[in-house]
Structure 1
């Protein structure tokens, strides 16, 4: 793979990531509520799902996954319901005078934060088809497949991780400067972001049916 081809690919990925999606909104929510460091587990969960989706695309499973519509639809809507439930619970717990509000960072396990990120990304199984369509545009038939595939995959994950981190740092910075009643509204906004992320996933599913 030439540097020119890689540069075009990086620019394409940058354009695709320029608009915030469900994963970015979830990162905003968790970073504002639990702090940037803990929210990195959410980013790790999202990127883990991306890595599995890329691997599936690389192994030629796109056709199989596209054909398994019923099972994938169930997985997607389960993820949507889970995120809505988490968001509503987060909004409901944000009450003035709550003694646990200032200690909210320790109330959610790291495993739960990771799972939220994983489910948000995995709830879009058609991403496998997306990667299967995107990668061949930048892979040369004259070179070995897997080294090129690895470069494209790592580039995507690094760029996606950078975007998620930027959203997380911004949300954490804002949340750290609000206390008391303002903190309640940060929690409510964060829960709302999570619900919006789930709704976006739902609309994506409906629009592709």
Structure 2
């Protein structure tokens, strides 16, 4: 893979990542509620799912998902339901915690990781995305495995940086909010989660 091809790939991914998706919205929400440091677990869950999706694309499972409407819809709506559940939970927490003194509740690292993993893993379009994107930058005359490794590692690194930016920005905003405003933060987070569910629900691979 030449430097020019790699730079073209980086530019393409930057454009594709310019609009926040469900995973980025989740990172914003969890960082506001749990702090950036703890929400790194959410980013780790998202990136773990990305790696598995890249492997699935490389093994040709994208064909299975696109050829089976039932499989696609089951995975997709499972993710939508999970995001709605998280959003409703945050809205309920906001109602319960308004006016109560004390520190903000924090999820366990395992739960934060699971949030990121499930949100990303239940987006079946991701497998098709990787299966469609990678061939555009692969030289068929060169060994394919090293090229896939470079493309995959580059994507994971860039996605990680985007998630860190969103998370750190959200933590900064949360620090400016007093404890009395915690309910507002949770309401915003919960609404964002439900909004992310709507975005995922409206996505169409066709």
Cα distance in 2 between the residues matched to 1:109 and 1:98: 21
1:30 aligns with 2:30: yes
**Partner of 1:103: helix, strand, or coil?**
coil
The 3 A distance-change label for structure 1 pair 9 and 208 is closer
Aligned position for 1:145: 144
Aligned position for 1:73: 73
State the Cα distance separating 1:99 from its structure 2 match. Answer: 4.1
Q: How does the TM-score come out when normalised to structure 1? A: 0.92
More divergent stretch after superposition (173-182 vs 134-143): 173-182
Cα distance in 2 between the residues matched to 1:132 and 1:104: 40
State the Cα distance separating 1:2 from its structure 2 match. Answer: 0.5
Cα distance in 1 between the residues matched to 2:79 and 2:140: 37
1:13 aligns with 2:6: no
C-alpha contact (below 8 Å) 2:82/2:119 kept by paired residues: no
Deviations 1:42-86 (A, max 9, x none): 111111111111111112222122223212311221221111111
Deviation >3 Å, runs of 4+: none
Aligned position for 1:90: 90
C-alpha contact (below 8 Å) 2:31/2:38 kept by paired residues: yes
C-alpha contact (below 8 Å) 1:36/1:172 kept by paired residues: yes
State the Cα distance separating 1:208 from its structure 2 match. Answer: 4.0
Deviations 1:16-60 (A, max 9, x none): 000111111111000000100111111111111111111111122
Q: How does the TM-score come out when normalised to structure 2? A: 0.94
Deviations 1:116-166 (A, max 9, x none): 111111121121111111101101011100000000000000000100110
Cα distance in 1 between the residues matched to 2:205 and 2:5: 30
C-alpha contact (below 8 Å) 1:54/1:128 kept by paired residues: yes
More divergent stretch after superposition (46-55 vs 72-81): 72-81
Cα distance in 1 between the residues matched to 2:83 and 2:100: 23
Aligned position for 1:135: 134
Deviations 1:186-205 (A, max 9, x none): 1111111111111111111x
Gaps of 5+ in 2: none
**Partner of 1:81: helix, strand, or coil?**
helix
Aligned position for 2:181: 182
C-alpha contact (below 8 Å) 2:45/2:117 kept by paired residues: yes
C-alpha contact (below 8 Å) 2:62/2:131 kept by paired residues: yes
Count of residue pairs brought into register by the alignment: 204
